[in-house]
Amino acid sequence: MSRMLHKFRGTLVGALVGDCLGSHYEGVPYILPWREVTDYTLTKIKDKKEPIPYTDDTAMTRAICKSLTEQKKYDNRSMAQEFVEEFFREPHRGYGAAVGTVFKRLQDENPEDITLPARCQFDGQGSYGNGAAMRISPVALLNARKNALITHAHINGVIGAILQAEAVFKALLLEPPNLDTDKFIDQLIEVAEKLEKDKEASSEKKEDSGHSGIPSHPNKTVSYVKKIKEMKELLSKGDALEPKTVVETFGNGIRAEEAVPAAIFSFLHKGKVSFDESINYAISLGGDTDTIASMAGAISGAYWGVNEVPELWKSKCEGVEEAIEFANKIYELHEQR
Ligand code: 8NA
Ligand code: MG
Ligand code: MG
Ligand code: MG
């Protein structure tokens, strides 16, 4: 089997197991002791009889896979339809509190411009939640910005999704043990700088004309570039690095500007050791553990490939077979391009 197919499977299975395992701790307001996390993910789950359920992170990822593989191309209207169908089929997968409004409006109004409901969220600011980034791995090769805009109009929600997709894409092109973290970071900084320059430009234009048509109410104090730059310094501390410092630097909350840097950092810090370390580390940061672990898992799975995902996790998490099936189909599409 081709190495790239292993990596595609690793991406989707990695995102899935991160979500399932991380959901056990979602919302804990503190950093988890390493032992507690590994006790759970490597020992306690052995006794589970029922599959560990996936949450909204995976439900939305699967909707993207379904659309991509049925349409055999990227189609934003079909994506929106799949999100809506999936949400109303199983609304209790732990979705963010506000995003249901977008799905309801998409269903009731079927607007010409499918990004309209998302642009009305939060008094016209759009959501800065991490919900666009958490699902983005299948479109890492295709069109992250377009997909984000269905539900997340706030520029920080969109940039987070694009950076997460970039990180997955870069990891697909690397072969363990080759991971030059400085280079990885420099390339991400380049992307983030461009996105943040565009964000500045669109906000200036908005101030000029009063309406730019581009959904952005940028919070100028937030900088992904600044956070990504800080990763080098933190990585240089090696094992002496305190998780507390990591959480103080990036945050661990539901904002994309927190969860995405935390996930990328978990991969860079522990992904070199093994797939499982990056997942356990992402969970140990606390906060939005399912989403941070899912995003770290997508990047780490893209790097390692599916064989490095522990058998225990693959046997205990709900939906692994479907994730592999979707990866096979997306790989076929990829090969036909
Ligand atoms: P979302 O768009 O509803 O955003 C999530 C939350 O972020 C909102 O409900 C608000 O509280 C806040 N928020 C976002 N944008 C703004 C804004 N402009 N102004 C003020 N507040 C804002 O949903 P999403 O898809 O981004 O959410 C993803 C997260 O939701 C993931 O962590 C996912 O796992 C899920 N989640 C579930 C639980 C749970 O307990 N089930 C808890 C946290 C998160
Ligand atoms: Mg979730
Ligand atoms: Mg359908
Ligand atoms: Mg979450």
Query: pLDDT digit string (tens) for 99-156?
Result: 999 999 999 999 999 999 999 999 999 999 999 999 999 988 555 566 677 788 889 9
How confident is residue 202, by pLDDT bands cut at 50, 70 and 90? Answer: confident
In ligand 1, which atom is closest to the CA atom of 128?
15
Write the ipTM: 0.95
Of 144, 146, 149, 199, give the one whose Cα is nearest residue 167: 144
Q: Is the pLDDT of residue 235 over 60?
A: yes
Give residues whose Cβ lies within 5 Å of ion ligand 4.
288, 290-291
Say if ligand 1 is within 6 A of residue 11 CB.
no
Q: Is the pLDDT of residue 207 over 60?
A: no
Say if ligand 1 is within 6 A of residue 131 CB.
yes
- This prediction has a pTM of 0.93
Q: How far apart are CA 186 and CA 242, in angstroms?
A: 23
Write out the two tokens for 333.
């599409």
Question: What contacts 133, CB < 8 A, 6 or more positions away?
Answer: 148, 157, 160, 161, 163, 164, 256, 259, 260, 295
Average pLDDT of the chain is: 92
Per-residue pLDDT, 140: 81
Q: Could you give the C-alpha distances from 58 to 86, 213, 269, in angstroms and in order? A: 11, 31, 24
What's the average model confidence in pLDDT over 191-206?
Answer: 80
Please tell me which residue, 213 or 167, carries the higher pLDDT value: 167
Per-residue pLDDT, 291: 98
